[in-house]
Chain A
Amino acid sequence: MFPTPLQKRSPYLRPLYIITVLAVLILFLLPLAAILLTSIRPGSDITSGNYWGIPSRFALVENYGEVFNPARSPMLRYFINSTLITLPAVFFSILISSMAGFALAVYRFKGRIALYAMFIAGNFIPYQILMIPVRTMFVRFGLFDTIFGLALFHTAFQTGFATFFLRNFIVELPISLVESARVEGASEIRIFRSVILPLLRPALASLGVLLFTFVWNDFFWALTLVQSDKARPITFGLSALKGQWLISWNLIAAGSVVAALPSVLVFFILQKQFIAGLTLGGVKE
C-alpha cells in the first residue's frame, strides 16, 4: 500500500490525520452544505440578509412544498419529464448496445475494428457539430420539443459509449461458452439471450448507473431540442426558473437539490457498480 499505512506509523499521527481529512472534506463540500442549508431557510432570512448564518426557522416543508406545488412552479412537471426521458433512453441504449457489443466482440468479420473505433470516436465528438443537423431534422419530423424526440436522441448518442463499454466486457468472457452452445445447435439469437445476457448482468448494472447520470444531467440537448414546459427536463427547467425566482435563493437552492438528488441517490445506492463502471468503461466526459 502507498502511502505507508497509518497503522505502521506513530500513533499520534492518527487523530491528526482524521482531523485533517474532515477539515478537507468540509472545505470540499462547502458549496453543497451551503445549498442544503439554504434550501431549508425561510424566505425572510434571505430578504433580511441572513445568507450564511443559522436559519431562523426550519422551512424545509415550506420551500420544497413550494417547489413541488404544480400551481406555483412547473418543477414537478420537469421532474416527470426528466424521468420519462431518462429511463427509456437508458433501457433502449443498453438493449441495442448489448446486441452491437456482442456482434463486435464475438464475430470476426471485416471492418469490425473500424466499427468499434467509430462508436468510440462518436462518443467523444463535440455536441455542437451535431446541433444544427439534428435540430433541423427534429423540426422537420415533428420530434422537436417532444419527450419522445429527446429520449430517442439520447438513446442514439449513448449507444456509442454503451457499445464500447459492453464490447470490452463481452470480449473478456470465455468464448468457449458460445462455441459449445453452437455445437449443441443453439441459434445465435438464443446464444445471445441465454448465454451472454445473463453473464452481462453486473456490467449492465454499472452501465445503467452511468448512463442514468449522463442522460439525467444533460443540459445542452435539452436547451437545443426543447422549448416548452411540456418536454423540458429538470436541468433546463431549473435554469429557466432561476429567472422567475430571481432572488428567492431558498427556492433556487431547494430546486437544485431536487434536480441533483436522483443522480446522487443512484450513485450512493449503486456506488460499487458506478465505480466499477467508470474504471471498466474508462472514459466519458
Chain B
Amino acid sequence: MDVNSQYKLYRMQYRLAPLYFLLPALILFSIFVIFPIGQSIWLSFHTWDGFGSATWVGLKNYINLSQDERFLAALKNNGLWLVLMMLAPVFGLALSLFLNQEIRGMRTIKSLFFFPFVINLVVIGLVFSWFYNPDLGLLALLFRLVGLEPIPILADENLATYGIIIAALWPQTAYCLILYLTGLTGISSQLVEAGKIDGAGGLSMFRHIILPQLRPATIVAVTVTVIGSLRSFDLIAIMTAGGPWGSSYVLAYHMYDEAIFNFKMGYGAAISVILFLVMVIFIAIFLKNILKSEK
C-alpha cells in the first residue's frame, strides 16, 4: 500500500469513528426504545386485540379515557403518589443531618441505613403486605396491644394506596439519604465557619448556608423521586393488584391491565401515551438542567 492510500485509510477510520462507535448502541436503543415509542403512539389511535389487524379510530381511545372512571381514579392516585413521595427527600435530608457524625462504627451504621435501596420491590411488597396483614401482621399485633381492632389496610379502599406509598417511601428514603450524605461531605467548611462568625446558628445556618450547597443533591433526589413515583407499578402488582375494587390503580397498572388481561391494546397504548406525556414534562426540565452546563 502506498503512503497516499494509507493516509486516506487513516483519515477514513478517523472520520467514521463516531459512526462505528455509536452504531451498536444506536441500533439496540432504536429497536427496543425509540421505535416502540412511535409504535405505541400510532397504536393509540387504533383498536387492536393483539392478534388481527388494527382499526383506525382516531381520537376515540382518548375520548373514552376521559369517561373511564378507573382511569380518573388512577390519575388521582398518581397525583397522590407524586405528592406523598416527596416525603422521601425530606426524610432523607433529615436522616442525613442526623447521621452526619464521625464516631466509631458510623460507616457501618450508615451502610445499614442505605441498603434497603438495593432490595427489589417484590421482596419489599411481600414484607409490607405481611406487616399490614390483619391476622398475623406486626401492625395488627400493635393494634391489639393497645386494645384496638386491627385495620386491614390493603383491603380498605380508602387506605390501600397510602399503605403502598409507605412501602415505597422506605427504599426511596434510603436512596435520598445516600445522596444527601454524599452532599454533606462536600459542604465547604470555610462557609460554615464564616457563617458562625456572622452569628448564624442551627436553623439559619441550615437555611442560608447548608441547603443552598445541597442544591445538586436536592435536584437529583427530587427528579429521581418524581420519575420513580410516576413509574410505580411493582408494589401495586404485588400488594393489591390494583384492588380493592380498583382503588389503588395508577396509570402504569391500568395500562398493563387493559392490554394484558382485556386485550385492549389501542386503549392501553393511549393510557401509556398519557403517562409518557406527563413524564416528558419532567424529563424536559431535567434535560434542560443537564444540557445547560454543556454549552
Contact = CB atoms under 8 A, between A and B. Distances in A.
Interface in B162-215: 170, 175, 178-179, 182, 184, 187, 189, 192, 202, 205-206, 209-210
Contacts of B95: 24
Contact of A224 (B40, B260, B269, B273): B260
A68 interface: no
A188 B13 contact: yes
Most buried by A among B118, B175, B187: B118
Majority DSSP secondary structure for residues of B touching A = helix
Ranked nearest first, the 7 interchain pairs of A and B with the lowest CB-CB distance are A217-B120, A100-B25, A133-B36, A103-B21, A156-B32, A156-B28, A133-B39
B96 to A, nearest CB: 10
A31 B265 CA distance: 38
A184 interface: no
Contact of B231 (A242, A260, A285): A285
A148 B124 CA distance: 27
A50 to B, nearest CB: 10
Given A107-B18, A124-B283, A126-B230, A52 B119 contact: no
Contacts of A192: 21
A3 B82 CA distance: 30
Contacts of A25: 109, 112-113
Interface of B: 10, 13-14, 17-18, 21-22, 24-26, 28-29, 31-37, 39-40, 43, 50, 95, 97-103, 109, 111-116, 118-124, 126-128, 130-131, 136, 138, 141, 170, 175, 178-179, 182, 184, 187, 189, 192, 202, 205-206, 209-210, 220, 223-224, 227-228, 230-231, 233-234, 237-238, 251-252, 255-256, 259-260, 265, 268-269, 271-273, 275-276, 279, 282-283, 286-287, 290-291, 294
A126 B275 contact: yes
Given A128-B255, A235-B122, A285-B231, A1 B21 contact: no
11 contacts: A17-B101, A34-B127, A109-B18, A129-B36, A132-B36, A132-B50, A137-B31, A156-B31, A157-B32, A260-B123, A275-B178
Interface string A139-177: 000000000000011011101100100000000000000
A113 interface: yes
Nearest to B295: A113
B127 A104 contact: no
Contacts of B131: 31, 34
Nearest to B185: A1
Interface in A10-62: 14, 17-18, 21-22, 24-25, 28-32, 34-35, 49, 51-52
Contacts of B178: 275, 278-279
A151 to B, nearest CB: 12
A91 interface: no
A198 interface: no
Contacts of B265: 132
Majority DSSP secondary structure for residues of A touching B = helix
Contact of B126 (A97, A153, A159, A238): A238
Contact of B29 (A119, A132, A189): A119
Most buried by B among A2, A14, A35: A2
Interface of A: 1-3, 5-7, 14, 17-18, 21-22, 24-25, 28-32, 34-35, 49, 51-52, 96-97, 99-100, 102-104, 107, 109, 112-113, 115-122, 124-134, 136-137, 152-153, 155-157, 159-160, 163, 182, 185, 187-189, 192, 213, 216-217, 219-220, 223-224, 235-236, 238-239, 242, 249, 252, 256, 259-260, 263-264, 266-268, 271, 274-275, 278-279, 282-285
Contacts of B100: 1-3
Contacts of B39: 132-133
A238 B223 CA distance: 30
Given A21-B109, A112-B18, A267-B118, 11 more contacts: A1-B102, A3-B202, A6-B101, A96-B24, A115-B22, A159-B28, A216-B120, A217-B119, A263-B120, A264-B119, A278-B179
A98 to B, nearest CB: 9
Contacts of A128: 233, 251-252, 255-256, 268, 271-272, 275-276
A137 to B, nearest CB: 8
A139 to B, nearest CB: 9
A21 B269 contact: no
A34 B124 CA distance: 12
